[in-house]
Structures are given as C-alpha cells and as structure tokens.
Amino acid sequence: LEHVDGVDCGFSFSACVTQFQQLFVWGSDKEGQLGFGRPPEAESTLIPRREDIICYPQHLIAITEAKAIACGDHHMLLLTSE
C-alpha cells in the first residue's frame, strides 16, 4: 500500500487509511470486525475458519472520505469527513 496516513490493529486484524481517504482492512473477520458483514446463520467458533481470514489488504469501497481509524480487540471505529 502507498500513501498510508494511519494504521491501527486489533486482536487479530488491522486497518489503514490512505491520503486518498480510502479504508483498507485485513486479518480475521470472525466477528465481522472488517466490515464485510456476516450472515446471521454464520457459525461462531473459537477458531476462525479459513474463509474468515483476509491475508492481504482489501479496499472497502463503500467507505468514502475515511479520515482516521481506531481498532479495539474485536471492533473498529472509523471517523469520516461526512
């Protein structure tokens, strides 16, 4: 990734904001913390399934004008300019 303005990490995931106000996320999405959403019928287990782990940064295109992020153990807070 280029032009990263800020980066933070949670228990098993990370996120960054770029100078172009884009949000990128990667790591475990077991609790839906990456923002992709989880179907209500998704099974909750102690060990993340392979499909719950994103190994490389993914751009969340639905998020625009991202300014700053803060990550907790299993959640993320995003500040936008909107």
Rounded CA-CA distance 6/19 in Å is: 9
Q: Is the separation of the CB atoms in 52 and 25 below 8 Å?
A: no
Tens-place pLDDT, residues 61-75: 888 899 999 999 888
State the pTM of this model.
0.80
Q: Is the separation of the CB atoms in 57 and 35 below 8 Å?
A: no
In terms of pLDDT, which residue wins out, 55 or 13?
Answer: 13
Confidence of residue 19 (pLDDT cuts 50, 70, 90): very high
Provide the pLDDT for residue 20.
95
Rounded CA-CA distance 12/27 in Å is: 6
Rounded CA-CA distance 64/67 in Å is: 9
